[in-house]
Amino acid sequence: MNSVVASAVTPHGYLQAQARWSPLEIAFWLAAFLPFVLFPTYLSLANQIAITALFALSLDLILGYAGIVSLGHAAFFGIGAYAAGIFSKYVWGEPITGLVFAGLCAGLVGFATSFIVARFKHLTLIMMTLGIGFLVHEIANAAHWLTGGSDGLQGVRLWPIFNYFNFDLWGYTAYSYALAVLFIVFVLSRRLINSPFGLALRGIRENSTRMPAIGADSRAHIRKIYTISTAIAGLAGGLLAQTTETVSLGSIDFQRSADVVVMLVLGGAGHLYGGILGAIIFMVARDQFSGINPQFWYFPMGVLLVAVVMFLPGGILGGLARLTARFRKNPS
Amino acid sequence: MTTPVLSTHKLNKSFGQLVVARDIEIALPRGVRYALIGPNGAGKTTLINLMTGMLRPDTGSIMLGEEDITKLEPQARVKRGLVRTFQINSLFPDLSALESVTLAVLERRGDAPVWWRQLPSYGEAADEAYGILKSLSLGDHAYRTTRELAYGQQRLLEIALSLATRPHVLLLDEPAAGVPKEESEGLFAAIAGLSDDITILFIEHDMDVVFRFASRIIVMVSGGILLEGTPQEIASDPRVREVYLGGANHG
């Protein structure tokens, strides 16, 4: 991508060009409105996709940008989901405050665990995240009085958004709400990636051992991005609890942690859009294939995953980026 | 006599039975160009690792100016001006040269934790990074991705990264390792052209280069310092000849 920049540009112009919104991005966000017109009967699926995309985006921030592989990220999704659900049950049903509460709870636990995560690398780190995931899952399972355990959390009731938009049966409000949150978090994440901190994260991903030698406190950077990422995962979980008005143990289990890694790898980690694209492919494929055969829908998913990892090591977006770079180099 | 910029006192380090640093005593005055020579396995890189905090000494202390830095983390030492480069390129493959050096500048200025302001508002940092790259004749390659740079250019980028931290003491671990002899002259000319405020210690095997660019030389053998002196003293010392010609010679 960088090689195509003409050598005449100034350092400042170069940085500016990197942070600019491309027409493709604008087109993507406009296309996010299409389901309202084209698939009005699929809005609840669109809602699920937006929520999952937000969850995948949160993982991309740590995996794609700082190189931290987590197999327990559903812990924070689940904490957010339970926090939002319990908040609506015992405090009030106002959605925005409930969502903020979900993000705060997940971010707080994320901050506490970030001290462990920042100390380890490679397999040890993956095992740590896996362990944290199992721990949180079992706590949610055991705290039946609060979470409903394996029966799920019942009695979640939401007020209309801004006391005006009712959560309707078709998912108009739900999808609009989730899409709005996704977009806001995306814009903030995009700012973060194009900030000095974002550059430092890419430095950690590219060469974490070199970072101290240029004076960087990598651990502080990792603690910070991990906390931010877990808070976003909590927002995603909160959205799911609020728009479905129920929370099950499935929102916090290992399967969800694994699925989100698969989505990110499919779409391409380290592109911000990779997780979103992966979530769209994964969720639509699940919807379609499970319609054909509800038990074996992971089979085509497995084939797709193996194919992408083998032939497109940077995921779908990584492959596209390489193709366009090659095309721009020798436009024939 | 003024305080040395960097000094070590009775520095010791062993891995099991293997002694890699034995009572190392060095004192580098400001602005001097030191060469650290010795056969392979003499402990030269280990000494740099100890001084920069990548390894912890078993005993002994390291002083940066008046401050005891023995227990400081590597990044804290960099912040205080003690900086190194690596014998094997240790760069950021997917970042452009400009991004890499800008990152080092931002880390030095303490701006790297900022996530709410966009990079383009740090134009001065990018300009400074570009200036450093230009001074090492990498100006034309600033926007290229690190992995696309030629090997010799990557060696220069190593030095550019270290300069962006504004070092007082620069420890260069075989800066010209793997660079053809014709190019290594240029690389050392760039090093020799650095500000006199920077104290430099470099490891190098090519004796022509050592005698041309070093004002003083330290000779290490099996974890200990054999002797230290001016190039003339070193060249005429029979013990050095013995080390280099008798047996353990790989340099």
Three-state SS for chain B is: CCCCCEEEEEEEEEECCEEEEEEEEEEECCCCEEEEECCCCCCHHHHHHHHHCCCCCCEEEEEECCEECCCCCHHHHHHCCEEEECCCCCCCCCCEHHHHHHHHHHHHHCCCCCCCCCHHHHHHHHHHHHHHHHHCCCHHHCCCEHHHCCHHHHHHHHHHHHHHCCCCEEEEECCCCCCCHHHHHHHHHHHHCCCCCCEEEEECCCHHHHHHHCCEEEEEECCEEEEEECHHHHHCCHHHHHHHHCCCCCC
Residue A294 pLDDT: 75
**DSSP class of residue A22?**
P
What rounded mean pLDDT belongs to chain A? Answer: 90
Name the residue among A7, A197, A212 with its Cβ closest to that of B143.
A7
Lowest model confidence (mean pLDDT) among A175-179, A324-328, B126-130: A324-328
Tokens representing B75? Answer: 């990044």
B180 touches A at CB < 8 Å: no
Q: What is the mean pLDDT of residues A277-306?
A: 87
Nearest-by-CA chain A residue for B167: A214
What's the rounded mean pLDDT across residues A215-227? 95
Chain B, 78 to 117: residues with Cβ < 8 Å from chain A are 78-79, 83-84, 86, 90-96, 98-100, 102-104, 106-108, 111-117
8 Å CB contact of B92 and A194: no
Is A85 inside a domain boundary? yes
Q: Do B112 and A221 touch (CB under 8 A)?
A: yes
pLDDT at B191: 87
Interface check B165 vs A, CB under 8 A: yes
CB pairs under 8 A between A and B: 149
Q: Is A136 helix (H, G, I), strand (E, B) or coil?
A: helix
**Which pTM was predicted?**
0.90
Interface probe for B, chosen from A65, A199, A225, A271 (most Cβ of B below 10 Å), is A199
Short-list A181, A165, A169, A186, CA closest to A43? A169
What mean pLDDT do residues A214-236 have? 96
Mean pLDDT of the A22-51 span: 92
What is the set of domains in chain B, with CATH numbers? 1-81+167-184+196-242+247-251 (3.40.50.300), 93-165 (no CATH)
Nearest to A195 among B96, B119, B144 (CB): B119
Best mean pLDDT range from A93-102, A152-161, B226-235: A93-102
Closest Cα of chain A to B247: distance in Å? 35
Token digits for A150? 């394996």
Contacts of A16 in chain B (CB under 8 A): 120
In-domain check, residue A27: no
Q: Please indicate whether, in this complex, the C-beta atoms of A199 and B99 are within 8 angstroms of each other.
A: yes
**A210, A218, A220: residue with CB nearest B92:** A210
> Which residues of A fall within a CB distance of 8 Å from B165?
214-215
Q: Above 90 in pLDDT, residue A80?
A: yes
Per-residue confidence of chain B (251 residues) as pLDDT tens digits? 578 999 999 999 999 989 999 999 999 999 899 999 998 888 999 999 999 999 999 999 999 999 999 999 999 999 999 999 998 889 999 999 999 999 999 999 999 999 999 999 999 999 999 999 998 889 999 999 999 999 989 999 999 999 999 999 999 999 988 888 887 888 888 888 888 899 999 999 888 889 889 999 999 998 999 999 999 998 888 888 887 766 544 44
pLDDT the model gives residue A221: 95
> Which of B49, B69, B73, B92 is most worth mutating to test chain A (most A CB atoms within 10 A of its CB)?
B92
**Mean per-residue pLDDT for A40-48?**
91
**Is A164 buried (19+), middle (13-18) or exposed (0-12) by CB count in 10 A?**
exposed
Segment A45-63 shows an average pLDDT of 96
Confidence of residue A121 (pLDDT cuts 50, 70, 90): confident
Q: Which residues of A touch B49 (CB under 8 A)?
A: none
**Is A199 in contact with B102 (Cβ distance < 8 A)?**
yes
**Domain annotation covers residue A218:** yes
A117-131, A247-261, A267-281, B181-195: the lowest-pLDDT one: B181-195
pLDDT at A306: 92
Cβ contact, residue pair B115, A192, below 8 Å: yes
Residues A215, B144: C-beta atoms closer than 8 Å: no
d(CA A175, CA A111): 29
Q: Give which of A1, A2, A202 to mutate to test B binding, by max B Cβ within 10 Å.
A: A2
Q: Which residue of A has its CA nearest to B162?
A: A214
pLDDT greater than 60 at residue A193: yes
Asked if residue A90 is part of any domain, the answer here is: yes
Q: Write the ipTM.
A: 0.89
pLDDT at B249: 45
Q: By percentage, how much of chain A surpasses pLDDT 90?
A: 63
- In the prediction, which pLDDT does B208 show? 86
**Residues 51-80 in B contacting A (C-alpha not used; CB under 8 Å):** 52, 73-75, 78-79
* Residues from chain B contacting residue A194 (CB–CB below 8 Å): 118-119
Mean pLDDT of A136-142: 93
Contacts of B235 (CB under 8 A, 6+ apart): B211
CA distance B207 to A4: 42
Cα–Cα distances in angstroms (integers) from residue B28 to residues A242, B54, B87, B216, B225, in the given order: 65, 20, 21, 10, 14
Beta bridge partners of B221: B224
- pLDDT above 80 (res A330): no
**In-domain check, residue A188:** yes
The pLDDT assigned to A329 comes to: 66
pLDDT, residue A332, reads 46
Predicted confidence at residue B180, as pLDDT, reads 84
For residue B134, the chain A residue with the least C-alpha distance is: A11
At A1 the pLDDT is 43
Greater pLDDT, A319 or A79: A79
Nearest to A199 among B73, B106, B161 (CB): B106
The domain in which residue A96 lies consists of 35-253
How many domains in chain A? 1
Collapsing DSSP to helix, strand or coil, A153 comes out as strand
Beta-ladder partners of B83: B170
Query: Residue B84: closest CA among chain A residues belongs to which residue?
Result: A213
CA dist A189 and A208 (Å) reads: 21
pLDDT recorded at residue B235: 86
Q: What is the pLDDT of residues A163-176, one digit of tens each?
A: 788 888 788 999 99
* Chain A contact for B24 (CB, 8 A cutoff): no
